[in-house]
Structure 1
Amino acid sequence: MSDHALPTSAGVDLRVMIDHTLLTPEVTAVEVGAHVREAIDLGLRAVCVRPTLIPADAYGLRVVTVCGFPSGAHDSRVKALEAELAPSRGADEIDMVVDLGAVKSHDWIAVRRDLDVVRAVVPREKTLKVIIESAALSDDEIIRSSEIGAEAGADYIKTSTGYHPAGGASVSAVALIARVVGPHVGVKASGGIRTRAQAIALVNAGASRLGVSSTRALLADDAAEGVPVGGDAASY
């Protein structure tokens, strides 16, 4: 599991927290290669890409991929197969979408069963994040989903896929998740994070990882704040 300790907002280097994300369905292997090179150029630590396009050589970056993406409405066995194949393809971390219909039905037994099936096939040395799609949930549903994710052995609870019409990460959702899971489970904020101000607000609320697709533009805000952009980033 990665370190969940939160830096203070002053002088935060967002590069060490960002999963540089490219998950659009039409993306090509060539574009993923360019995405990896951009991550290196920006001094990032991790890229998040589709499971079928995990790069053969990520040049020392951590590779994050997804399963049950983006709806979560997959048979648990399908999610488990995606999660089982991902490490053999080179993934270090897997972001799994919950069964959102089960969450909205408050079928918590089904939610836990779905998570257990995936956790069972993800090696313990690999990181498992559980995407709860917080913008589509009530506070009570966020709380229960986060509790079950933590109980099932998730390393992080992640707010959003970035594809749900209800929206992406919010400060209030991140703060609520962080309060529920405590210091031993991380919080990843994802979806709609486009500026340094947004990113810092989410970090201050409790996020220790950020899923960002418009990373270069966001880090341009860092440069404007006097934070150096690019160069080598230390390994996890």
Structure 2
Amino acid sequence: MITAEELAQYIEFTNLDNTATEEQMKAFFDKAKEYNFYAVVVLPHYVKLAKEELKDTDMKVVTVVDFPLGAGTTESKVAEAKDAIKNGADEIDMMANIPAIKEHNFKAVKEDIIAVKEAVGDHILKVIIENALLTVDEKAGASAMCEAGGADFVKTSSGFNGNEHFYALMESLRIMKKNAPHKEIKAAGGINNYKLVNNVIAAGVTKIGTSSGHIIMDQFNHVMDNQKVSPEQKTGPRLI
């Protein structure tokens, strides 16, 4: 059985609200500290603040590149990524070239990934292929380009262009795993409860991007507490 500490290390606690103030972000970082998540994911504007606020923790700072459209040039992505690393980002979540994927120009997709990976070096690069916008063939091709291009992770979604329902998400994870067998998978977009988290972990996901990290942890702790008492003492339904 997974522990709360282990579950927290799957979660990249996310706040990509472009209206969030510095005060609101500091409250977000305080919440992250309560649970000691693997990482926080913030907009580039807040990378320096995140690094400062989390300096006494082990949490990583992750930021996004070419987000959320995935329609920028390779040169702009490289510049964004380098700037983010300079400002203290530990990991980069980059949008894949969505127009190139839709055109089945997978060579361009791969070259885009290669260039950004070269720019970030040893820093982890996750590539968002935006499954909700893609056909099965496009998901397969984009995942294969993440494998060929040297990305560290294939990521399901930005959460800004629609989310897949449960069975579609499970099928997307199968396609990603088949076509990028040596890459880790990050699930994001609508991952907002422990039951779903449990399922995507079982499907092979190793990182989860979510703004509901605190809710997921509280649900998990409720489930664990419910299992510790005898059946006669249980007063409410289990979450899973």
Q: Deviations over 1:142-197 (max 9, x none)?
A: 11101111111100000000000354881221122122222x31100000011111
| Residue 201 (1) aligns with residue 192 (2) | no
- 1:176 corresponds in structure 2 to 175
8 Å Cα contact 1:178/1:207 also seen in 2: no
Q: Secondary structure at the match of 1:120?
A: helix
Q: Which has the higher helix share?
A: 2
Residues 50-89 of structure 1 aligned to structure 2 (within 5 Å): 50-54=43-47, 55-57=50-52, 58-59=54-55, 60=57, 61-89=59-87
CA distance in 1, matches of 2:159, 2:9: 21
Gap change, CA 1:38 and 1:168, over 3 Å in 2 = farther
Q: Secondary structure at the match of 1:211?
A: strand
User: What is the root-mean-square deviation in Å for CA atoms of aligned residues?
Assistant: 1.8
CA distance in 1, matches of 2:174, 2:40: 25
Amino acid at match of 1:196: Y
TM-score (norm 2): 0.85
**183, 186, 197: which is aligned to 1:185?**
183
TM-score (norm 1): 0.87
Query: What percentage of aligned pairs have identical amino acids?
Result: 31
CA distance in 1, matches of 2:84, 2:163: 28
CA distance in 2, matches of 1:166, 1:204: 19
| Residue 37 (1) aligns with residue 30 (2) | yes
8 Å Cα contact 1:172/1:205 also seen in 2: no
Amino acid at match of 1:130: V
Q: Deviations over 1:33-56 (max 9, x none)?
A: 221111110121210000111124
Q: Structure 1 residues 94-103 or 26-35, which shifts more?
A: 26-35
| Runs of 5+ consecutive residues of structure 1 not aligned to the other structure | 1-9, 228-236
8 Å Cα contact 2:157/2:163 also seen in 1: no
- 2:233 corresponds in structure 1 to none
- 2:155 corresponds in structure 1 to 158
Q: How many residues align?
A: 217
Gap change, CA 1:188 and 1:131, over 3 Å in 2 = same
Q: Secondary structure at the match of 1:39?
A: helix
| Runs of 5+ consecutive residues of structure 2 not aligned to the other structure | 226-240
- Residue 101 of structure 1, CA deviation: 1.0
Q: Structure 1 residues 190-199 or 165-174, which shifts more?
A: 165-174
CA distance in 1, matches of 2:25, 2:86: 18
8 Å Cα contact 1:133/1:168 also seen in 2: no
